[in-house]
């Protein structure tokens, strides 16, 4: 597993991971910076945690996905 596998700009999951992680950071900032009612703070915090968890799940899937060259070599062997 290589951390360099995260950089996959042609994969839509890469961009979704970036957006979700940035959104969770923004929501965490909103929760800390503004005086929200308890219900609003709970909702914003839940969305921030949900976005972070889903973003980390996408990150894990991107890192575990085999390299394109390995997939192509594996497909040729199967033929």
Q: How confident is the model at residue 54 (pLDDT cuts 50, 70, 90)?
A: very high
Q: Per-residue pLDDT averaged across 31-52, rounded?
A: 93
Predicted model pTM: 0.72
Per-residue three-class SS string for 3-61 = HHHHCCCCCHHHHHHHHHHHHHHHHHHHHHHCCCCHHHHHHHHHHHHHHHHHHHHHHHH
* Per-residue tokens: 3: 């951390």
Interatomic CA distance for residues 7 and 58, integer angstroms: 12
- Split at pLDDT 50, 70, 90, the class of 79 is very low
In the chain, DSSP finds a helix count (H) and a strand count (E) of: 3, 0
Across the chain, what does the average pLDDT equal?
84
Domain residue limits, the chain = 36-64
Q: What percent of the chain is predicted at pLDDT more than 70?
A: 82
| pLDDT of res. 58 | 92
31, 44 Cβ separation under 8 angstroms = yes
29, 34, 38, 42 alpha-carbon torsion, rounded to 10°:
-20
């Amino acid at each position: 597993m290589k951390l360099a596998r995260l950089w996959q700009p042609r994969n839509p999951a890469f961009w979704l991971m970036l957006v979700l992680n940035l959104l969770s950071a923004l929501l965490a900032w909103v929760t800390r910076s503004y005086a929200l009612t308890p219900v609003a703070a709970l909702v914003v915090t839940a969305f921030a945690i949900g976005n972070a968890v889903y973003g980390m799940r996408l990150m894990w899937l991107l890192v575990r996905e085999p390299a394109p060259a390995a997939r192509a070599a594996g497909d040729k062997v199967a033929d």
